[in-house]
Structure 1
Amino acid sequence: MKRLSMLLVVPLLALVACGGGSSGDGAASAAPSDAANLKYNKCLRENGANMPDDPKDIPQGGVEIPDKAVNACKGLVPPGQTIDMKDPAVRERFARFGKCMRENGFDMPDDAPPDIHLKDPAKWEKASKVCSPILQEGRK
């Protein structure tokens, strides 16, 4: 089984602008990535993973994703959602992000739990504005 650690996904979700634009009538339209995320999460659930649609509902420690679900849903992974923590450059970037967050007032251990951003949302927001460029380095 694979463990999806939201420590990896949550900072990106919090730092990357998401949501839709205006449809012209003042109503917000759904971003394509929202639909892709919902489709992917539904596939994971249908194949044995207890994956909620809302990232805020992911339990501390992440979600166990059976190999069956990984294989069945790999073609549905939304762009930008896969992060290879075995890659030394990625690990180094996340270590620098954690250090930057601490230097900017958010107490974030290197092995932070997935819901770390909920600890103090105001401090997270302030520090992540400074530190978010670190996570964007090397991304296409």
Structure 2
Amino acid sequence: MRQHNGLVAALVLAAGLLAACADTGAQESPSAAPSAPSAAPSDPRDKARAFAQCMRDNGVDLPDPDPDGGFDTGGSIDRQSEAFRTAMEACRAYAPGGDLERADPERLDKARAFAKCMRDNGADVPDPDPDGGFSSLAPEDPDDPAWQKAYAACGDELGRPAS
């Protein structure tokens, strides 16, 4: 079950990143137009690498994902900074989990099904925000057997990458 920690971290990071940037109200600076890759890869691991590269290209020092597609930032990224918000806006389509802010009804239904499944399997997970993101998806202890069991049972609801 330990193999899912990287993916859990990726989902948590993506949910947190997207929730932090839902509506910043910031105006784009014409002198600092963000850059993004031209097309998002379809493979989740390639998409995670493209996301990391896009974030770096836009001024955020995000390391490459681990082999499971997860990110270990060590808490070093200030998600409230203007640089982060600008980079996230530029790279949103490449974020693990997709563009949750602009969730279509089907994606929102999947996020709700994931949250319900997690709760039904013993993990304390809130319902998604109306945009399909989770304001707080991170478990207090990602190694908690109850969380691991629930995620093993429910991760497919969000289309996790194959291990």
* TM-score normalised by the chain length of structure 2: 0.45
Q: Percent identity?
A: 25
Asked if 1:124 is matched to 2:147, the reply is yes
Count of residue pairs the alignment pairs up = 108
Aligned with 1:102: secondary structure?
Answer: helix
Instruction: Report the counterpart of residue 42 of structure 1 in structure 2.
Output: 53
State the distance in 2 between where 1:6 and 1:58 align: 15
Instruction: Report the counterpart of residue 14 of structure 1 in structure 2.
Output: none
State the distance in 2 between where 1:52 and 1:35 align: 14
Instruction: Report the counterpart of residue 135 of structure 1 in structure 2.
Output: 158
The code of the aligned residue for 1:57 comes to T
Deviation of 1:135 (Å): 1.9
Instruction: Report the counterpart of residue 57 of structure 1 in structure 2.
Output: 73
Deviation of 1:115 (Å): 2.7
**How does 1:1-140 map onto structure 2 within 5 Å?**
6-7=11-12, 9=14, 37-38=48-49, 40-54=51-65, 55-57=71-73, 59=75, 63=79, 65-67=84-86, 70-71=89-90, 77=94, 81-86=97-102, 87-110=104-127, 111-116=134-139, 118-136=141-159
Deviation of 1:120 (Å): 4.8
Instruction: Provide closer, same or farther for how the CA distance between residues 51 and 118 of structure 1 changes in structure 2, counting only shifts above 3 A.
Output: farther
State the distance in 1 between where 2:140 and 2:99 align: 19
RMSD over aligned CA atoms reads: 4.0
Deviation of 1:74 (Å): 7.6
Superimposed CA distance per residue, residues 47-68 of structure 1 (whole angstroms, 9 cap, x where no aligned partner): 1235343524275xx8464446
Superimposed CA distance per residue, residues 16-65 of structure 1 (whole angstroms, 9 cap, x where no aligned partner): xxxxxxxxxxxxxxxx8656634541331231235343524275xx8464
Structure 2 unaligned blocks of 5 or more: 1-9, 16-42, 66-70, 128-133
- Greater strand fraction, Structure 1 or Structure 2: 1
Deviation of 1:99 (Å): 1.1
Instruction: Report the counterpart of residue 18 of structure 1 in structure 2.
Output: none
